[in-house]
Amino acid sequence: MLQESNRQDQEQQLLVMGSKLQLPQGGGALTGLEENLSVSQATGMLNMTVKLPLLENRHAFNPPIALHYSSANGNGILGMGWDLGLPAIFRKTDQRIPEYRDADESDTFVLTGQDDLVPCQKKDADGQWVEDTTSSQGLTVRRYRPRVEKDFFKIERVQSGIQTSWKVTSGTNTVTFYGLTEEGRIADPKDSRRIWKWLPQLSVDNLGNTMRFRYKKEQPDWPGQANRYLKQIQYGNAVPYDLDETHRYTPDLADDERYFFDIVLDYGDQDDADPGQSNPSGWPLRADSFTTFRPGFELRTERIVKRIVFFNRFKALSGDGPVIPVPVKSMDLTYRTFGCCHPATPCEADYLTAITESSWRRHPDGRLERRSLPGLTLAYANPEDTPSRSGVIQLDETSLVGGYLLCDYENEGVPGILTEKPEGLYYSANLGGGAFGQPEKVLAIPSVRGLGGRPLEIGVLDPGGRKFLISMNDGVPGFFEQDSDGLTLGFTPFKEVPRADP
């Protein structure tokens, strides 16, 4: 009886409430580009990632590339601030030019996304620590690991005669080979042994999937002939790849391997209407070519990516003829070109301003049809010109003898005016726009008797940026230090002073 009563109450409530009208749900088939935007709270850098319309491979073994932007990046093959995120192994150049003395470990190697690489060591039979170096198949293999371990990669540098390559095994047992041939190495054109960067050429996982990277060399006898440009990525192999033990450091890079998916980077050397054909007008130069000498030789970038094209190699798309690569997707890249800007929007480099995704269709007669989605547009803040200092009086910048010194005494990033008066030194902070604050006493002038009357100078002697009064008297060179209360301490002579022959 209780159950019957509850059922009648529920029916009565439904009759009173009636049926609810459901609003339509969003989420149709049309979607925009997948982009992620973020700002670093620590540095203020703007970071953005635009995913590529990759064709999914088995076991999600897809190329590790996307369009990455960072306001801290320099110029590259995608214009100012953008790159593909392609991993590589290179010699560190932040602090000095590489020396290329690998036998002495003169340089520091870096794997993209990892910390500095340090050589591994192991204990020998006597319990002594020695280099973790082995010989295999006529090759010398030395192991490295990141200074800060996080992904537990097995990193090996392979020496074959005078040439070197790298083998990196990830924690998921995916093996990537870097710089197997000259095509995948950026080296000094005058000495191929001076290799600065090793580029990925083959990647293999533990399920037989492979990925092949191909690069295009610069024209011979061209100023930037040392550079290499990523041209093609092939993945989705038809036959499983077996990385046999006898060739574990020297895998086969045969060109007859069949792949289902191709990614081609168009630097303007592909036909616009048929991306599978070459452009008869050749390989165009970019307007903002740039050069770096950080590797110790000239490395010039003359090309810029105009389009990224995605091909399929399936019999169903090729018709009755042989299997050919057929374009199915593309991403067109539009730039604000250096030298062609409106005067109101000056630019000193090429800036990526639009990304447009297109789909392609091949008709039975071989004709290609392209249709595009609305593009993603990008705008940039223009660099501001440095304010003119024509109205600023030129003061003595080397010594306090003249009574004034342009000096960033408070480490604020802009120089103020340091003034010498009989009772001490006064500092006027830079307020911007040519204006300076009221002078405030910052330091008492010490007695310089016995120092030969040599003028005092302001300088930095410690990493903290503190300012010291320095006397470079030939007889007694040294400095005066200021304590935390602003009092000037006694004179401290330098322990050693470099001497330069006249």
Q: Which residues contact residue 488 at a Cβ distance below 8 angstroms, ignoring those fewer than 6 apart?
A: 443, 444, 445, 446, 469, 480, 481, 482
Is residue 120 domain-resident? yes
Is residue 149 domain-resident? yes
Of 328, 362, 377, the residue at which a domain comes to its end is 377
> Do 350 and 421 share a domain, yes or no?
no
> Do 362 and 444 share a domain, yes or no?
no
Reported confidence tier of residue 3, pLDDT bands at 50, 70, 90: low
- pLDDT per position as a tens digit, 94-144: 889 999 999 899 999 999 999 999 999 988 888 889 889 998 778 999 999
CA distances 116 to 94, 172, 175, 184, 201, Å, are: 12, 22, 20, 21, 22
Reported confidence tier of residue 79, pLDDT bands at 50, 70, 90: very high
Please tell me whether the overall predicted TM-score, pTM, comes out greater than 0.75 for this model.
no
- What is the residue type of 120? C
Stretch (H or E) spanning 335: strand 326-336
Is residue 162 domain-resident? yes
- pLDDT per position as a tens digit, 393-431: 344 444 444 567 777 777 777 888 877 777 777 888 888
> Do 358 and 462 share a domain, yes or no?
no
Domain that holds residue 430: 400-493
> Do 476 and 352 share a domain, yes or no?
no
Name residue, tokens 């030789």: 297
Mean pLDDT of 446-453: 52
Task: Give the integer Cα–Cα distance in Å for 373 and 130.
Answer: 59
> Do 158 and 288 share a domain, yes or no?
yes
Beta bridge partners of 398: none
Does position 30 have pLDDT exceeding 70, yes or no?
Answer: no
State CA 139 to chain mean position distance.
Answer: 31
CA distances 442 to 80, 124, 465, Å, are: 43, 61, 15
Is residue 386 domain-resident? no
Task: Say what the pLDDT of residue 370 is.
Answer: 93
> Do 368 and 406 share a domain, yes or no?
no
- pLDDT per position as a tens digit, 141-155: 999 999 998 889 999
> Do 304 and 435 share a domain, yes or no?
no
> Do 56 and 194 share a domain, yes or no?
yes
Reported confidence tier of residue 20, pLDDT bands at 50, 70, 90: low
> Do 245 and 282 share a domain, yes or no?
yes
Is residue 382 domain-resident? no
> Do 338 and 445 share a domain, yes or no?
no
Is residue 183 within 8 Å of 214, Cβ to Cβ?
yes
- pLDDT per position as a tens digit, 325-353: 999 999 999 998 876 554 445 567 889 99
Of 320, 346, 377, the residue at which a domain comes to its end is 377
State CA 470 to chain mean position distance.
Answer: 41
Q: Is residue 12 helix, strand or coil? A: helix
Name residue, tokens 């170096």: 133
> Do 127 and 212 share a domain, yes or no?
yes
Task: Give the integer Cα–Cα distance in Å for 350 and 76.
Answer: 9
Is residue 13 domain-resident? no
> Do 179 and 51 share a domain, yes or no?
yes
Is residue 144 domain-resident? yes
Q: What count of Cα atoms within 13 Å lies in the side-chain half-sphere of residue 109?
A: 26
Sign of CA dihedral 224, 226, 230, 234: positive
- What is the residue type of 111? L
Is residue 273 within 8 Å of 266, Cβ to Cβ?
no
Of 345, 377, 409, the residue at which a domain comes to its end is 377
Q: How many domains does the chain have?
A: 2
